[in-house]
Amino acid sequence: MKPIAIEAKGLKKQFDKKVAVHDLSLTVEQGEFFGFLGPNGAGKSTTIKMLVGLLRPSAGTATISGFDVWQEPLKAKAQLGVLPEGLNLYERLNAREFIRFAGTMYGLEKRDVDQRTEELLALMDLEDAAEKLIVDYSQGMRKKTALAAAIIHAPRVLFLDEPFEGIDAISVRAIRQVLDRLRSSGTTIFFSSHILEVVQRLCTRIAVINEGELVAAGTMAELRQKAQSDPDSTLEDLFLKAVGAEEKQNTQIGELSWLDGLPGASA
C-alpha cells in the first residue's frame, strides 16, 4: 500500500444550526489523481477548506502527508499547493511579483524562484501581461496566476477547486500536461470540478458528496459496480444516480408540457 497523502476522519462543520459537512472520512494515497464531486452547496469547498487549514472543523481530524493540519499547521501546509474556489490575490501586485512572492514564501532559493516564475509565466501565456496589475486581469488570467503560485514549489499535495473554469483551451492542455508531470513525480492531486468529462478522463479515483455526506467513492469500475450500472455508464450517469437527481430531473422535465407545443417539436 502506498503512503497516505490525505486523510480525513469524522470531519464535521456546522454553521449555527446548519451542518455543512457531516462525519466525512476519506483516504487518498500518494500519487493519486483524486476527483471530488458534488452538487452546488453539497459541502465540497467547505471540505477542501478544512483539509488545507483554511477552516477549522467542528469535529474530526485532517492530515496531510501524516501531519495534522491543526496540530502541526506549518509542516502540513509546507506540503501543500492550493488553488481555492475564491481567488484572494494581492490585486496591487502583477503576476510576476505574485508568483515570485509565493515561491519566496515557500522557501525556494532566489535563483529557483526567478527561473520557475519565468517558466510559469510562459506556460500560462502571461508573459505579455506580467507587468499589469492583477486588479486589471480577467478571471481566467487570475486563475492562471493563482495556479502558477500554487505549483511553483512542486507541492507534494495539490488541491484544485475548479482549476479550468474560465481558462482557454490552449492553456487547459498545457496545465493538464504539467499536472501529469507533477503526478508522475509523486504529487497527489485533489481535484474538484463540475466538468464531469474532465474528471472522468483525468482522475484515478472519485468521491461524491451530497448534503454534506460522502455517498460514493471508488474507481469508475467500482462506482459502476456499486451502482449496478451499465459498463458504458458515464460519470455523469453515475453522479446523477449517486445524488438522487436522475429520477427527480426526469420528472421535472416531463412536466414542462409547454415544450411539446414549440415549433419543430416531435409528435
Q: Domain residue spans in the chain? A: 4-79+155-260
pLDDT of residue 28: 97
Query: Which runs of consecutive H residues, i.e. helices, occur in the chain?
Result: 44-52, 73-78, 95-105, 110-123, 139-151, 169-184, 196-202, 220-227, 235-242, 246-254
Share of the chain above pLDDT 70, in %: 92
Contacts (Cβ under 8 Å, ≥6 apart) of 18: none
Given a contact cutoff of 8 angstroms between Cβ atoms, the answer to whether 33 and 189 are in contact is yes
Across the chain, mean pLDDT equals 90
Judge whether residue 247 has pLDDT over 70.
no
Task: Report how far residue 79's alpha carbon sits from residue 66's, in angstroms, rounded to the nearest whole number.
Answer: 10
In this prediction the pTM is 0.88
Report which DSSP code applies to 259: G
Confidence band of 136 (pLDDT split at 50, 70, 90): very high
Closest CA to 11 of 48, 42, 66: 48
Q: How many CB atoms lie within 10 A of CB 216?
A: 19
Polymer length of the chain: 267
Strand order in the sheet with 4-15: 18-29, 4-15, 59-64, 67-68
Q: Could you give the 3-state DSSP secondary structure of residue 204? A: coil
pLDDT of residue 53: 94
Kindly report, residue by residue over 2-61, the tens digit of the pLDDT: 899 999 999 999 998 899 999 999 999 999 999 999 998 899 999 999 999 999 999 999
Task: Report how far residue 247's alpha carbon sits from residue 264's, in angstroms, rounded to the nearest whole number.
Answer: 26
* Reduced 3-state DSSP string for 45-84: HHHHHHHHCCCCCCEEEEEECCEECCCCHHHHHHCEEEEC
Q: Range with the lowest mean pLDDT among 13-17, 143-147, 176-180?
A: 176-180
CA geometry: angle 82, 84, 86, nearest 5 deg: 150
Judge whether residue 249 has pLDDT over 80.
no
Mean pLDDT of 112-129: 95
Task: Report how far residue 124's alpha carbon sits from residue 143's, in angstroms, rounded to the nearest whole number.
Answer: 10
pLDDT of residue 229: 84
Judge whether residue 87 has pLDDT over 80.
no
pLDDT of residue 1: 73
Kindly report, residue by residue over 52-71, the tens digit of the pLDDT: 999 999 999 999 999 999 99
Kindly report, residue by residue over 193-244, the tens digit of the pLDDT: 888 998 999 999 999 999 999 999 999 999 999 888 888 899 999 998 888 7
Given a contact cutoff of 8 angstroms between Cβ atoms, the answer to whether 159 and 83 are in contact is yes
pLDDT of residue 256: 65
For β-strands 18-29 and 4-15, DSSP reports them as antiparallel
For β-strands 59-64 and 4-15, DSSP reports them as antiparallel
* Beta pairing partners, 35: 191, 206
Does the domain at residues 4-79+155-260 carry the CATH identifier 3.30.420.40?
A: no
More confident residue, 262 or 110: 110
**Dihedrals phi, psi of 61, to nearest 5 degrees:** -135, 155
**Dihedrals phi, psi of 39, to nearest 5 degrees:** -65, 170
Mean pLDDT of 67-76: 95
Judge whether residue 265 has pLDDT over 60.
no
Q: Range with the lowest mean pLDDT among 19-23, 127-131, 223-227, 261-265?
A: 261-265
